[in-house]
Amino acid sequence: MKIGFVGLGNMGGPMAANLAAAGHEVTGFDPAGVSAEGVASAASAEEAATGADVVITMLPNGDILRSVADQIIPAMAPGAVFLDCSTVDVDSARDVAAQAQKAGLSALDAPVSGGIGGASGGTLTFMVGGDDAGFATAKPLFDIMGAKAVHCGPSGNGQAAKICNNMILGATMIVTCEAFALADKLGLDRQAMFDVVSTSSGYSWSMNAYCPAPGIGPKSPADNDYKPGFAAELMLKDLTLAQQAAEAADADTPLGAAARALYAQFVEKEDGRGRDFSAMLPRLAARGRE
């Protein structure tokens, strides 16, 4: 396929490079001027989108997505697919999809899980909202960029799935860190705690696959001085999106709200910015009960 790719940062760059390595003709644009291996450079987002079968965007937030959509939708040919892989608010995803559909395009919102490692390795999970025809067209690209793509329903449902997933992740990471901090003060060895919990009812992805305690369980950012695999400020972004959606939908999410407040404190008032979201463990371990 002929693919336009807008947003070649830490996630978009490797994704575009994987598509080019698989033999697709990929033209990319990033306002920061960065490029990706095997990807031709365009002078603008419109140029990257012109004549493309599929245009993929990987952008920081809903406002930027709306702005880029205004630029590229008029440049796209009717029948092309607008595939947005950003994590944004549900309303922005649905509004951009409606704008694209009005122009005769298929629109997909397809946020990802798997982080920078998944983007580089082509093992991302895509949570996809949008029409069946667009999903069928994009499926071979999902297969290159990721290990799994789940069609979650109409436009906006990909974003809904992403923020629900990450609300669970944020809350379970916090309580996993709280449990290690409590175990320390009770004199329970961290390895013993992991051996019990990882095979008992406290099992979770945060404990078993991404343990926040250095030297315990599979290798994780905790073993690299909490350099981010998934930065705390990105977790804060996703938890904020979840709370915005919960307010709009009149959903009661008290633990999600508490997780958001803790990450806001960590990122905005402490030393969490630029650290992995699992660095909540040393933060909690250093504190007493308030």
Kindly state whether residues 272 and 221 are assigned to the same domain: yes
Picking from 136, 153, 170, the residue at the C-terminal end of a domain is 153
Known catalytic residue: 162? yes
- Residue 222, phi then psi, degrees to nearest 5: -60, -30
> Mean pLDDT over residues 188-202, rounded?
97
Kindly state whether residues 146 and 165 are assigned to the same domain: no
* Enclosing domain of residue 232: 160-286
- Counting other chains too, the contacts that 149-155 makes at CB distance below 8 Å and 24 or more residues apart are 149/110, 149/125, 150/125, 150/126, 152/127, 152/128, 153/129, 154/129, 154/130, 155/93, 155/94, 155/97, 155/98, 155/107, 155/108, 155/109, 155/129, 155/130, 155/131
The count of domains in the chain is 2
Query: b vs e for 265-289, b when ≥16 Cβ sit within 10 Å of the residue's Cβ?
Result: ebbeeeebeebbbbbbbbbbbeeee
Active-site residue (options: 102, 148, 162, 269): 162
The CATH number of the domain where 67 resides is what? 3.40.50.720
- Return the SS3 of 108: strand
Is the confidence at residue 116, as pLDDT, over 90?
Answer: no
> Mean pLDDT over residues 194-216, rounded?
97
> Mean pLDDT over residues 68-74, rounded?
97
Type of residue numbered 251: A
pLDDT, tens digit, for every residue of 75-107?
999 999 999 999 999 999 999 999 999 999 999
Instruction: Give the pTM.
Output: 0.91
Number of CB atoms found within 10 A of residue 7's CB:
28
Kindly state whether residues 130 and 187 are assigned to the same domain: no
**What is the structure's pLDDT at 251?**
98
Query: b vs e for 197-229, b when ≥16 Cβ sit within 10 Å of the residue's Cβ?
Result: bbeeeeebebbbebbbbbebbeebbbeeebebb
pLDDT, tens digit, for every residue of 7-17?
999 999 999 99
Kindly state whether residues 86 and 137 are assigned to the same domain: yes
pLDDT, tens digit, for every residue of 259-271?
999 999 999 999 9
Kindly state whether residues 140 and 171 are assigned to the same domain: no
Kindly state whether residues 131 and 175 are assigned to the same domain: no
Please name which of 273, 64, 243, 59 lies closest in space to residue 163, comparing C-alpha atoms: 243
pLDDT, tens digit, for every residue of 119-162?
999 999 999 999 999 999 999 999 999 999 999 999 999 999 99
Picking from 106, 127, 153, the residue at the C-terminal end of a domain is 153
Is the confidence at residue 115, as pLDDT, over 90?
Answer: no
Residue whose pair of structure tokens reads 């067209």 in the numeric block: 137
- Whole-number Å distance between alpha carbons of 4 and 149: 20
187 neighbors 164 (Cβ within 8 angstroms)? no
